[in-house]
Amino acid sequence: MKKAMTMVLLAVLITTLCIGTVCVGRAEEVENGGPDPQELASLLEADSFYVQQGVYRELDTVKEASAGRLLSCFGNNAGSAYVVFGMPAAPDQDTSLGSQELGWPDEIAAIYDDPQIPNAPANPYFAPGGWEYKLRQDEVIVLITPLPGACKYYSFINYLMFTAQKPGKVYEGRKAFFSVGDEESGLYCPIFGSIGNSVNILNIRHTGDSIFDTQAVIVIGANRDAVDRVVKHLQAAGYDEGAINIMPIPAGTYNMGLQKGADTFSFLQRVSQAEDKAAYRDYLDNISERAVLYRVTPVEEMPENPYENETVIPRGNGVHETAALTDAAEKLEAIREALIAEYGDEYDYEELDSDIAVPEGLTAYYNEFNAKGDNRDAMYLMTPDFTLDSDEDFVVVYGVNHSMTGKALYSNAVLYARPMLNGVTSIYDSMFGGSAKPYLGEDCEDADQYYVYKMARTELDDHTALIEYSTGNEKGQYYGVDNGAPVLMAFRAYLDETGTGASYYEVIYDRTIVFHKKQAE
């Protein structure tokens, strides 16, 4: 029954592909003998796999949250873009339904649904539908995607998104906790913790000679045999082995499957600091038409052959960045004293410590922490909450330019607002040049190894990032923050020379001073 139905639905799928944007966008490549996603789907179906097409799309968390369609911005890196899966439900799985009232779309329904087989329960719904999904231990995800144009950084990474809440455990009041799901799907709490290493700008396998504007294939799975079979068909369909990236999920670690209470997964592409803004916008606007996303499910479940936990790249090389600096403590103190001398008469001030912001993936999973989409490519620091109480209050961030010491491919600082963790404004190391000279003196030869930058309602000098208001913001309420609302500073440093994020114990932490205008007595 199921195999006969498969052939009928395959015909529907192929027809859909041929009249859809995938075939149109790739027709010339296929005519010239290039790899063919249609042929891949046909080969997989002939080998007793169900093939369903998903959607690969940009997720602008601030835009979606401002429209009421997202419950959190998850600490978005303001100024960078995110691309996510819109995954269909698994064969013989109920569809996770959204909310018309809230503008939440349904998950894509499975096209394989045998009425004689009881369906697995739907995934716990979390907008946008299909962003998070369960996986059977032998399912495989295939993403065939163009790579962005020249930029500072991009990466792809798997996540454990939600895990089932334990009976009798009290979750209310836990940091960054919220609940999704219901009695039918089960109640879940957020983990959003990374799985293994990322595929990134330094290690990606791709077509052509460049890491930009070429193509890559990403294969995600928890069963070695299933992945091997899919890779074989990719090669038969014309995809070069040298462009195929395998991202394993360790089935023995996570609660795989479609049953109630099984873990849910997610996937995220990051793109940061494109050189050509118009090409960057075109890439994001058209990624869903130019990429191909398949959910591949064996018709009969395969015996387990799990991947083990991936050996991740260790953080650090044993060399602290102070080795690349001269008199770092004295220079940082000179900046601090100069700032206080400049503003201390008219402003009260508070100096905020930075500390490790988020746990890494497995730590988050085993302790049921919300890792907020951590990435081992980055080092994350965060201050305690504070407020801006008037239009004259402002923030100064300063410290070592980690990209100058070899501890980062790029670094930045972002002002976040609570409770949505929406990134309001950001600065990048490419903006730091010359910013520390007024505080270290014109004769300081290594001033550009440091930075000083302000965030304020109005421009205070050439190195000021503006803080927009939330109320009345034409772009949306979470593109800004109002006075009195809790905010915090977060710092990132991406990819040191080891090929992963810097060790938290080999860098000098970034610093924050909040200046509050004194009230007239």
Taken in order 170, 62, 77, 290, the sign of the CA dihedral is: positive
- Compute the distance between CA of residue 376 and CA of residue 359 in angstroms, rounded to an integer: 10
Within-domain flag for 309: no
Examine the domain organization and report whether 226 and 267 are in the same domain: yes
Examine the domain organization and report whether 174 and 34 are in the same domain: yes
- Which of 265, 298, 331 marks a domain boundary? 298
Instruction: Report which of 455, 439, 458 is spatially closest to residue 447, judged by C-alpha positions.
Output: 439
**126 in Cβ contact with 180 (< 8 Å):** yes
Q: Which tokens hold the place of 134?
A: 């369960």
pLDDT (0 to 100) of residue 249: 98
**265 in Cβ contact with 251 (< 8 Å):** no
Within-domain flag for 397: yes
Within-domain flag for 280: yes
**Side chain identity, residue 30:** V
Phi, psi of 446 (to 5 degrees): -110, 30
- Compute the distance between CA of residue 262 and CA of residue 162 in angstroms, rounded to an integer: 9
- Compute the distance between CA of residue 335 and CA of residue 398 in angstroms, rounded to an integer: 8
- Compute the distance between CA of residue 370 and CA of residue 358 in angstroms, rounded to an integer: 8
Examine the domain organization and report whether 326 and 467 are in the same domain: yes
Examine the domain organization and report whether 272 and 185 are in the same domain: yes
- For the chain, the domain total comes to 2
Examine the domain organization and report whether 269 and 195 are in the same domain: yes
- Compute the distance between CA of residue 508 and CA of residue 321 in angstroms, rounded to an integer: 7
Q: Which tokens hold the place of 132?
A: 């998070």
C-alpha torsion angle, residues 398, 403, 408, 411 (rounded to 10)? 40
Q: Which residues of the chain have pLDDT under 50?
A: 1-28
Within-domain flag for 400: yes
Examine the domain organization and report whether 435 and 348 are in the same domain: yes
Helix (H, G, I), strand (E, B) or coil at 230: helix
Exposed/middle/buried for residue 474 (C-beta within 10 Å: 0-12, 13-18, 19+): exposed
Exposed/middle/buried for residue 19 (C-beta within 10 Å: 0-12, 13-18, 19+): exposed
Cis omega (within 30 of 0) for bond into 35: no
What's the first-to-final CA gap in the chain, in angstroms? 84
Examine the domain organization and report whether 282 and 352 are in the same domain: no
pLDDT (0 to 100) of residue 374: 95
- Which of 237, 265, 298 marks a domain boundary? 298
Q: Which tokens hold the place of 362?
A: 């497995």
Strand ranges in 259-409 using DSSP code E only, listed in sequence order: 264-274, 292-298, 347-352, 355-356, 378-382, 386-387, 394-400
- Compute the distance between CA of residue 89 and CA of residue 295 in angstroms, rounded to an integer: 9
User: Which 3-state string (H, E, C) describes 9-51?
Assistant: HHHHHHHHHHHCHHHHHHHHHHHCCCCCHHHHHHHHHHCCEEE
**Side chain identity, residue 404:** M
Helix (H, G, I), strand (E, B) or coil at 284: helix
pLDDT (0 to 100) of residue 74: 86
Q: Which domain holds residue 455?
A: 321-517
Examine the domain organization and report whether 363 and 259 are in the same domain: no
pLDDT (0 to 100) of residue 102: 82
Within-domain flag for 268: yes
- CB neighbours of residue 8 within 10 Å: 9
Examine the domain organization and report whether 416 and 505 are in the same domain: yes
- CB neighbours of residue 141 within 10 Å: 23
Q: How far is CA 91 from CA 39, 247, 260, 417, 517, in A?
A: 21, 22, 15, 40, 61
Within-domain flag for 422: yes
Q: What is the CA radius of gyration of the chain?
A: 24
Look up tokens 């503008």; give the residue: 103
Ordered DSSP codes for 401-460:
-GGGTTS-SEEEEEEEETTTTEEEEEEEGGG-TTSSHHHH-TT-TTGGGEEEEEEESS--
pLDDT (0 to 100) of residue 71: 83
**328 in Cβ contact with 510 (< 8 Å):** no
- Compute the distance between CA of residue 240 and CA of residue 17 in angstroms, rounded to an integer: 22
Q: Can you name the residues that pair with 347 across neighbouring β-strands? A: 517
Examine the domain organization and report whether 130 and 15 are in the same domain: yes
- Which of 243, 267, 298 marks a domain boundary? 298
Examine the domain organization and report whether 224 and 349 are in the same domain: no
Within-domain flag for 183: yes
Examine the domain organization and report whether 163 and 289 are in the same domain: yes
Within-domain flag for 163: yes
DSSP assignment letter at 315: S
Helix (H, G, I), strand (E, B) or coil at 192: strand
Phi, psi of 196 (to 5 degrees): 70, -160
